[in-house]
Structure 1
Amino acid sequence: MMKTIGIALTILGTALFAGAPARAADWYAPQEPFAVYGNTYYVGTGGISAVLITSPAGHVLIDVGGPLAPDQVVKHIRKLGFKVADIRYILNSHAHTDHAGGIARLQTLSGATVLASPASLNVLSSGRPDKTDPQIANLVPLAPVANIRVLHDGEVVRLGPIAVTAHFTPGHTRGGTSWTWQSRENGRVANMVYADSLYAFSGDGIPFSANPGYPNAKADVEGSIAAVESLDCDVLVSAHPELGGLWERKAKQPALGNAAFIDKDACRGYAARSRARLAQTLADDAAAAEAGKAAR
């Protein structure tokens, strides 16, 4: 049964990211955990990001991945020498199955409080996709999450020396959130960014910019792209790692150490690619509309 679910989710991932690199299609591709910078570690799979921020007071986990990801994430956290029981907060980028489907299980294993935007609350707590989501035709339910605390835009999550700031970045979903914090290594402080998905997708024949359930989607994603572009950004991890160039920087790590992940242009590059995706989505919607007129 679980194998069947995994195959179905992989097919769904392929459908949603047909234009992205091949690695994006496999949510559960194996990936060894690794240090990113200072007290920040990558503990996700090869297809979906999950980041652990550590401290003596406990840890913060950003995203988990799909419903089959928790086993890998738990293994990665332990392999790095940390305890799952020390995770105090689980943060979420957006409430799609590929990023939030494993949250309920990780919460059960850790006892952590889940923090989310108001627009993500109903999806996470009920497990039911938002009916106004631009991608509703491709979405599947996720395991309902308990013990959720709602955050506000700009709110700072504090845990010992950790201070993570929420930046609401809607558009891909209504409740999308990006996160920033600082990590120190060898006397240097780096501004860390975990960027939510900023790509615009239409679904079920409904144009992205003319979705009656979410009429502000275009304006929202444009604003979110600009917001991420303007962040003080030394190290970027995007919710889909390949879309933010993580693997290219990871390839330089053996030679450069964790400094390989520092790229002050990374957020601007991610924003540029997201704008290109939006332009392509709008062009595709316009072409589909013209084809529909011609067929009538």
Structure 2
Amino acid sequence: MHFMKKLVPALLCTSMSLYAHAQKVVEPTHINPDWTKTYQPFCIVGNLYYVGTYDLASYLITTPSGHILVNTGLASSADVIKKNVESLGFKFSDIKILLTNQVHYDHVGAMAAIQQMTGAQFMVDAADAAVVKTGGKTDYELGGEFSTFKPIKISRELHDRDVISLGDARLVMLHHPGHTKGSCSFIMDVKDGSKTYKVLLANIPTIIVSKQFSEVTKYPQIAADYKYTLDTMPKVQFDIWVAAHASQFDLQRLRGEKDGYKPELFMNREGYDKRIEKIRKEWEEKVK
């Protein structure tokens, strides 16, 4: 009995230590400085706003019934996004739905914190749900011993062409796997006075593996998923497009020193098609 009294606390201590170890979050430290550099928030078109950092794009979609936030950047971005949202005149606490283009730490790093701050529902492509629950540990490329972001409570798992509605906003999720198993884009109609624009929040399917696709044993369908995405994305019709990284749609070059409201700056179909074609050539090399 005396032995058990000593053993039980020891077991409890060990168990708690293992649990804490399993929950440890280690966000990579060697990051692009543009990911944390601040950027002035602005209105893209209608009720769609840019509220992210210099390169990590976060989008606020406002409605009379509350708001939708797409992507949250790194863990350190929570307060930055809050400040940006409030500087535009909106209540951060009115965010009701959280979405993401992909579940890498540079896009969902602050998601759990913002969910706690706002009480918003997090919705994610079903193919990325398992990685969300482990905080990135089970990601085929960036996974490892520790989580790279805090696990997030999922309210709804999404599938291709599912609709996310809030107030007068209606987003359609487009399944664009490859970069992650559940990478996705969102397309929506945005009203601007008498005009209506079809806007794509795109996940550009960059290839992050250095090896051939046949060697990626943790994601055996990676080549086929990329092919599906590269075949599908050129067929998407839109008026305006933006992406998960500002650099992917040349935000700073397009805007320059312009502070005014200019939705036409983002009607860059040629830039979109060139991005996809460039990745297609990389894909061809990876399947050889």
TM-score (norm 1): 0.81
Q: CA RMSD in A?
A: 2.4
Structure 1 residue ranges, 4+ long, deviating more than 6 angstroms after superposition: none
Is 230-239 or 261-270 further displaced after alignment? Answer: 261-270
Please tell me whether the aligned partners of residues 228 and 267 of structure 1 are also in contact (alpha carbons under 8 angstroms). no
Structure 2: how far apart are the matches of 1:199 and 1:231? 17
Q: Which residue of structure 2 aligns with residue 96 of structure 1?
A: 104
Structure 2: how far apart are the matches of 1:239 and 1:267? 13
Q: Which residue of structure 2 aligns with residue 238 of structure 1?
A: 243
Structure 1 residues 72 and 159, CA gap change in structure 2 (3 angstroms) = same
Letter in 2 for 1:202: V
Structure 1 residues 256 and 122, CA gap change in structure 2 (3 angstroms) = closer
Which of residues 69, 74, 84 is equivalent to 1:66?
A: 74
Q: Which residue of structure 1 aligns with residue 173 of structure 2?
A: 166
1:63-114: CA deviation from partner (whole Å, max 9, x where unpaired)? 1111111111110000001111111110111111000111001111111100
Aligned length: 263
Structure 1: how far apart are the matches of 2:109 and 2:261? 34
- Rg larger for: 2
Q: Which residue of structure 2 aligns with residue 228 of structure 1?
A: 233
SS at match of 2:57: coil
Please tell me whether the aligned partners of residues 44 and 262 of structure 2 are also in contact (alpha carbons under 8 angstroms). no
Please tell me whether the aligned partners of residues 137 and 144 of structure 2 are also in contact (alpha carbons under 8 angstroms). no
Q: Which residue of structure 2 aligns with residue 127 of structure 1?
A: 135
Letter in 2 for 1:33: P
1:41-64: CA deviation from partner (whole Å, max 9, x where unpaired)? 000111211101111111111111
Q: Which residue of structure 1 aligns with residue 224 of structure 2?
A: 219
Q: Which residue of structure 2 aligns with residue 151 of structure 1?
A: 158
Please tell me whether the aligned partners of residues 236 and 246 of structure 1 are also in contact (alpha carbons under 8 angstroms). no
Q: Which residue of structure 2 aligns with residue 19 of structure 1?
A: none
Identity across aligned pairs (percent)? 26
Structure 1: how far apart are the matches of 2:171 and 2:142? 29
Letter in 1 for 2:110: G
Structure 1 residues 255 and 31, CA gap change in structure 2 (3 angstroms) = closer
Please tell me whether the aligned partners of residues 137 and 145 of structure 2 are also in contact (alpha carbons under 8 angstroms). no
Is 47-56 or 210-219 further displaced after alignment? Answer: 210-219
1:7-54: CA deviation from partner (whole Å, max 9, x where unpaired)? 97451x35xxxxxxxxxx531111110110111000011121110111
Which of residues 207, 214, 225 is equivalent to 1:200?
A: 207
Structure 1 residues 161 and 255, CA gap change in structure 2 (3 angstroms) = closer
Is 1:142 matched up with 2:149?
yes
Letter in 1 for 2:216: N
Q: Which residue of structure 1 aligns with residue 34 of structure 2?
A: 26
Pairwise CA distance, 1:194: 1.0
